[in-house]
Amino acid sequence: MKLVSRSQWGARAYRTPNGATPYGRARRGVKLHYLGTAYSDRPHEQCAAYVRQLQAQHMDGNGWSDIGYSFVVCTHGYVYEGRGLKRRNSANGNTTLNDQDYAVCLLVGSSGLTKPTSAQLNGARDAIEYCRKSGPAGTWLGGHRDGYATACPGDTVYAWVKAGAPRPATTKPTPTPPKEDDVTPYELWAYKGKGEKRDAYAYLRDTEAKVDALADKVAGLEQRPLTDDQIAAIAAAVAAHPALAQAIADTLATRLKD
Ligand SMILES: [Zn+2]
Ligand SMILES: [Zn+2]
């Protein structure tokens, strides 16, 4: 689990005595939450600042003693320690509900980014297992909306948690990109030198045996003008093959998008 401790994300100290309230009884399980506001994905470098902002909102806006959640999971799969283990959360709706289950919030919104990433589902699963093992917590799983009138955690996260919060299927391994050495310096020189007469597609067909993974990706090049999706696919393909990248990028920029 990629756990980010309170000191690592720069949490403020909680207010006592409420922020230090321990759980009064065994936890039944874990409830999931979402933000319920607009959220847009961001680079991971900005996630800690977002969690600090959530804490400030809960402490200064809601008047709570700390961030409400036990844990917060960013789209990159990191698990931020909120109240953490052993301490009662304040996210589930009322004291009884807060005492009953841990509260894990996924950074997804009700608009903007509304579907959790695979990394995030893995992170949420990590947090659930951590609560079960070290909390401890029982095996019950659900959402904020269980027993409380709210749309939280949104339909997507709710359906996932009620299905038992399975880890997402691992994606198929991507094929190994062709090696740069497979294209000879002569071929590169020939292509650049004959740029006026030969387009990128013909060049790639000529070298298909060596860079067939790349050629597959640009099969749509015969259609012109290219769509934005095709251009993006080509860009991804050439990025996997550094020696070709500049030559093809030059051609794409000047000739193919007509
Ligand atoms: Zn909630
Ligand atoms: Zn992140």
DSSP secondary structure string, 227-238? PHHHHHHHHHHH
| Closest ligand to residue 73's CA | 2
Contact in structure between 204 and 218 (CB atoms under 8 Å): yes
Residue 69's pLDDT is 98
93: left (phi over 0), alpha (psi -120 to 50) or beta: left
Residues in the chain: 258
* Span from the CA of 8 to the centroid of ligand 1 (angstroms): 24
Residue 228's pLDDT is 72
* Span from the CA of 34 to the centroid of ligand 2 (angstroms): 15
- DSSP letter assigned to residue 69: -
* Span from the CA of 110 to the centroid of ligand 2 (angstroms): 18
* Span from the CA of 193 to the centroid of ligand 1 (angstroms): 62
Contact in structure between 107 and 54 (CB atoms under 8 Å): no
Which residues are CB-contacts of 147 (< 8 A; sequence separation ≥ 6)? 93, 97
CA distances from 109 to 43, 77, 91, 118, 240 (A): 16, 16, 16, 16, 33
Whole-angstrom Cα distance, residue 217 to residue 199? 16
Apex 114 CA angle, 108 and 119, nearest 5: 60
DSSP secondary structure string, 130-191? HHHHHTTEEEEEEETTTTSSS-TT-HHHHHHHHTT-PPPPPPPPPPPPPPGGGS-HHHHHHH
Residue 194's pLDDT is 47
Q: What is the pLDDT along the chain (258 residues), one digit of tens a residue?
A: 999 999 999 999 999 999 999 998 889 999 999 999 999 999 999 999 999 999 999 999 999 999 999 999 999 999 999 999 999 999 999 999 999 999 999 999 999 999 999 999 999 999 999 999 999 999 999 999 999 999 999 999 999 999 999 999 886 666 555 455 565 555 555 555 444 334 555 555 555 444 555 555 555 455 455 667 766 766 776 666 666 666 666 666 665 554
Q: Which residues are registered as beta bridge partners of 31?
A: 103, 142
Structural domains of the chain sorted by starting position, each given as residue range(s) with its CATH number in brackets? 3-162 (3.40.80.10), 180-256 (no CATH)
| Closest ligand to residue 49's CA | 2
* Span from the CA of 44 to the centroid of ligand 2 (angstroms): 4
Residue 195's pLDDT is 46
Phi, psi of 200 (to 5 degrees): -60, -35
Whole-angstrom Cα distance, residue 227 to residue 236? 14
| Closest ligand to residue 75's CA | 2
